[in-house]
Amino acid sequence: MERKNQTEVTEFILVGLSEIPELQLFLFCIFFSIYVITLLGNTSIIVLYRLSPNLHNPMYFYLANFSFLEMCYVSATAPKMLQNMLTGQKSISYHGCFIQMYCVLLFAGIEFFVLAAMAYDRYNAICHPLLYGIIMNDKVCIKLLIGSWFIGAANSLFHTVLACHLPFCTKKIIHFFCDVPPLLKLSCTDTWMNEVGMYVVGGSVSGGAFILIIISYTKIILTIREIHSSSGRKKAFSTCTSHLTVVSIFYGSIFFMYLRPKSSYAMHQDKVASIMYTIIAPLLNPFIYSLRNNDVKLAVTRILQKLRLRQKY
């Protein structure tokens, strides 16, 4: 019977952010604007890194890769959501739903460990400044990035395979993209294995990366406290504030969404949390990393000066 119910569901219905037809065009305009600004902002970070020699160091190497991941991350959810708002056709195929789930979990898992690698980079820059160039060489940076992709891919595959073997008795997903918690609510069988996997495996991935970040910043704070100059302490900590802000937004909404018992899910709260880490965080990150960053401002100034000189000659 469970197998029969599973094969009968050939597509899902994504309810979206609102079921009120009159709001769809308004929401489309807002989120389309956010999506375009997000792509432009993160693309700008990548272009700046490529064109600016002063940004060719591990910190901005990871930032450029993080911006690329943010573009992929938001593109895993936003285009389908915008299409549903504009056309009113809210269906997504069975396989398309699990592909979307895999991509969302993939890029989220990679971002966990890229953020951890960025914290490790700041730890070495502040705590071991004389050995920084040796510790954070090109090979180490690439290995950390490859490791992040490997862990993210394995974690995503685990959750997606578990979820796609569930039998589903209904196809209406009270969410704007295919995610693990909303899909578990559609299953007509016990989902304890999926929940245990979400807490144990997912918690180990996100929590493990978070612990690495906490350890790095604990050592950073202890090192900064030993700096006698107040201006030196301020300068050292200023290089970490942008990263800490991004970590707080991303981890706060992720933990709220996933590390709760199934019985405590409230879909309106989950939608707000999901919007924060899938839509708003990728929008804010380019601004967080650039507005108070003198290196980025200097790179922008130099590129603008080169453009002006080319226009003159």
Residue 19 identity: E
- Alpha-carbon separation of residue 117 from 58, 171, 220, 296 (angstroms): 10, 39, 14, 20
Q: Token pair of 238, please?
A: 């200023």
pLDDT (0 to 100) of residue 155: 94
- Largest Cα separation within the chain, whole Å, is 76
pLDDT (0 to 100) of residue 266: 59
- Note down the domain range covering 14: 2-312
The tokens 């789930």 sit on which residue? Answer: 101
Please give the backbone phi and psi of residue 93, each rounded to the nearest 5 degrees, phi first.
-65, 160
pLDDT (0 to 100) of residue 92: 93
- Are the beta carbons of 48 and 296 closer than 8 angstroms? yes
pLDDT (0 to 100) of residue 299: 78
CA distance 266 to 260: 11
CA atoms within 13 A on the CB side of 95: 0
* Angle between helices 281-291 and 230-258 in degrees, nearest 10: 180
CA distance 118 to 141: 10
14: domain CATH number is 1.20.1070.10
How many domains are contained in the chain?
1
pLDDT (0 to 100) of residue 42: 94
Q: For residues 260-280, b (16+ Cβ closer than 10 Å) or e, as one string?
A: beeeeeeeeebbebbbbbbbb
- Are the beta carbons of 147 and 65 closer than 8 angstroms? no
Segments in the chain below pLDDT 70: 1-8, 232, 257-269, 291-292, 311-313
pLDDT (0 to 100) of residue 35: 97
pLDDT (0 to 100) of residue 105: 94
The tokens 């050939």 sit on which residue? Answer: 10
Q: Residue 92 is inside which H or E element, if any?
A: strand 91-93
pLDDT (0 to 100) of residue 214: 94
Global pTM reads 0.88
pLDDT (0 to 100) of residue 276: 85
CA distance 301 to 304: 5
pLDDT (0 to 100) of residue 313: 61
